[in-house]
């Protein structure tokens, strides 16, 4: 069901691009005869866009049913609860299954020995997917107390991997020890992102990889010499924390 819905969404995306091109060409035409065509193209494009949104919601619902959770839909930072800084936190939207799998694969970590840390975890979609993916430990941090409660309820069904959801500021949270995959679905602006990266770099005790979906502020990582970009696609990027010279807590062997 999920793959079929995704295929339909791909078809609609291609059709929407084609209609957008037609609309652009019709608008560039001269004379009265171009007006009806432009209006018709605009109406059709809007209709296809609406259909695409409906299919996207259907895909989200299908993923929720598959994993026994309720995470579909978008919420602004001031709904259902206010955040201390509405400009620091972005709207909540669950990550798509295909994008999640793509960015996790690009991170090239070993899930069985890696902690998955979702900063700005919302209702817990990525946490549920990470648990199913076999990560050794799954941790979420969410500033909005109501969203954090929803995430805990979604993950209460349990599984072989323990999932912990903390309510708090991602920039002041305690970074788990050992190998770490930090998951970001564009949860906040550049100022908070810098603070978060500082926190992770300062407290990391093992290899750290950042999987950044919808990387609007990727330049923050690219401009920070502590981080190396290792993979990029249209909707995500992967960055690794460079190891400073000297011994590390995760090193083994004798000197």
Taking the CA atoms of 98, 102, 103 and 109 in sequence, report the sign of the dihedral they define: positive
What residues in the chain have per-residue pLDDT under 70?
A: 1-60, 76-90, 158-160, 244-255
Res 16: pLDDT: 61
- For residue 215, report the phi and psi dihedrals to the nearest 5 degrees: -80, 70
The pair of three-digit structure tokens given for residue 38, joined into one six-digit string: 């432009």
The rounded distance, in Å, linking the Cα atoms of 214 and 217 is 9
The rounded distance, in Å, linking the Cα atoms of 200 and 51 is 41
- For residue 34, report the phi and psi dihedrals to the nearest 5 degrees: -80, -20
The rounded distance, in Å, linking the Cα atoms of 55 and 53 is 5
Residues 6+ apart with CB under 8 A from 31: none
Q: Is the distance from CB of 148 to CB of 89 less than 8 angstroms?
A: no
Reported as half-sphere exposure (CB side, CA atoms, 13 A), residue 165 has a value of 26
Res 10: pLDDT: 60
Res 52: pLDDT: 47
Find the distance separating the first CA and the last CA of the chain, reported in whole Å.
55
Question: Could you identify the residue written with the tokens 């912990």?
Answer: 164
Taking the CA atoms of 57, 60, 65 and 71 in sequence, report the sign of the dihedral they define: negative
Q: Is the distance from CB of 27 to CB of 38 less than 8 angstroms?
A: yes
Instruction: Kindly report the pTM of this predicted structure.
Output: 0.73
Q: Which of 229, 233, 211 is nearest to 221 (CA)?
A: 229
């Amino acid at each position: 069901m999920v793959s079929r819905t995704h295929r339909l969404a791909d078809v609609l995306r291609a059709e929407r691009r084609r209609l957008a091109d037609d609309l652009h060409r019709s608008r560039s035409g001269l004379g009265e005869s171009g007006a009806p065509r432009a209006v018709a193209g605009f109406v059709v494009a809007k209709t296809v866009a609406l259909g695409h949104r409906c299919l996207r919601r259907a895909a989200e619902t299908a993923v929720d049913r598959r994993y026994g959770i309720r995470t579909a839909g978008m919420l602004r930072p001031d709904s259902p609860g206010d955040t201390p800084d509405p400009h620091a936190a972005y709207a909540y939207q669950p990550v798509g299954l295909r994008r999640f799998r793509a960015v996790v694969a690009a991170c090239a970590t070993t899930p069985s020995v890696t902690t998955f840390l979702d900063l700005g975890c919302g209702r817990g979609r990525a946490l549920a997917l990470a648990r199913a993916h076999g990560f050794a430990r799954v941790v979420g941090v969410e500033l909005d107390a109501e969203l954090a409660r929803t995430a805990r309820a979604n993950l209460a069904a349990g599984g072989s991997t323990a999932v912990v959801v903390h309510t708090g500021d991602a920039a002041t949270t305690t970074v788990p020890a050992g190998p770490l995959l930090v998951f970001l679905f564009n949860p906040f602006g550049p100022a908070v992102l810098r603070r978060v990266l500082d926190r992770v770099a300062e407290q990391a005790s093992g290899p750290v990889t950042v999987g950044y979906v919808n990387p609007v502020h990727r330049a923050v990582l690219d401009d920070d010499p502590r981080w190396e970009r290792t993979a990029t696609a249209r909707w995500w990027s992967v960055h690794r924390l460079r190891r400073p010279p000297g011994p590390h807590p995760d090193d083994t062997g004798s000197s």
